[in-house]
Structure 1
Amino acid sequence: MSLAAVAVDRLIRGYQRRISPRKGWSCAYRVAGGGVSCSEAVRRVVAERGVLRGVRPGVVQLVACYRAAGMLAQSDVRGVCCCGPVPIPFRF
């Protein structure tokens, strides 16, 4: 790995070990589809391709995570209120 790739790898590992466990939520992409988190996916891409060639796949990964977060937010129904003939989903 190049010096830049090593630096990015260390930054991502620092994020994974020190920030991510304390932020209060998990990667939406990992929650929605299983597998690895976005930070781990980007870390692997940078290790395989280098920093510059890893930018595009990294952005694609983050866009997929953004879409997964939107999908999860829409499906965050906690219960159903039956006030008449039509059940109404609600969130807390």
Structure 2
Amino acid sequence: MTTLSTLALSSIDVYQRWLSPLKGFRCAHAALFGGESCSAAVQRIIREQGLTGGRAAITARFQTCQQAYGHLSAARAAGGQVQGVCCCGPVPIPFRCG
């Protein structure tokens, strides 16, 4: 495992332990589909493929999360209540709908 991959995994661990519990949301992908959050999925991808090798899979996950955010926003417009985080890039964006 490369130093960059190790650093990325350590950063995700810090995010999961200290920042994620403070925000009180889960990512839009997990809110819509259930299963692992984007941070857990990216952590798994990096462990399996490395940061460089997993770049396409990580990008695809964030794109899917962005699409999930769109679906959840539409649900909110229809009167539903939703909360989560949109992982549309390197910084998670919290949202509350409803």
Q: What TM-score results when the alignment is normalised by the length of structure 1? A: 0.78
Alignment deviations for residues 45-73 of structure 1 (CA, whole Å, 9 cap, x no partner): 00001110111110100010011011011
Identity of aligned residues (%): 32
Aligned length: 80
Matching residue's letter, 1:48: E
**Does structure 1 residue 28 correspond to structure 2 residue 28?**
yes
Which residue pairs with 2:10 in the alignment? 10
Question: Which structure has more RCO (C-alpha within 8 Å, separation ≥ 6)?
Answer: 2
Alignment of 1:1-92 (within 5 A): 1-76=1-76, 77-78=79-80, 92=98
- In the alignment, the residues of structure 2 paired with residue 20 and residue 63 of structure 1 have an alpha-carbon distance, to the nearest angstrom, of 20
| Post-superposition offset of 1:23 | 2.0
Q: Which runs of 4+ in 1 moved over 6 A?
A: none
Q: What TM-score results when the alignment is normalised by the length of structure 2? A: 0.74
| Post-superposition offset of 1:4 | 2.0
- In the alignment, the residues of structure 1 paired with residue 67 and residue 29 of structure 2 have an alpha-carbon distance, to the nearest angstrom, of 8
Matching residue's letter, 2:45: V
What runs of 5+ residues in structure 2 fail to find an aligned partner?
Answer: 81-96
Structure with the bigger percentage of helix: 1
What runs of 5+ residues in structure 1 fail to find an aligned partner?
Answer: 79-90
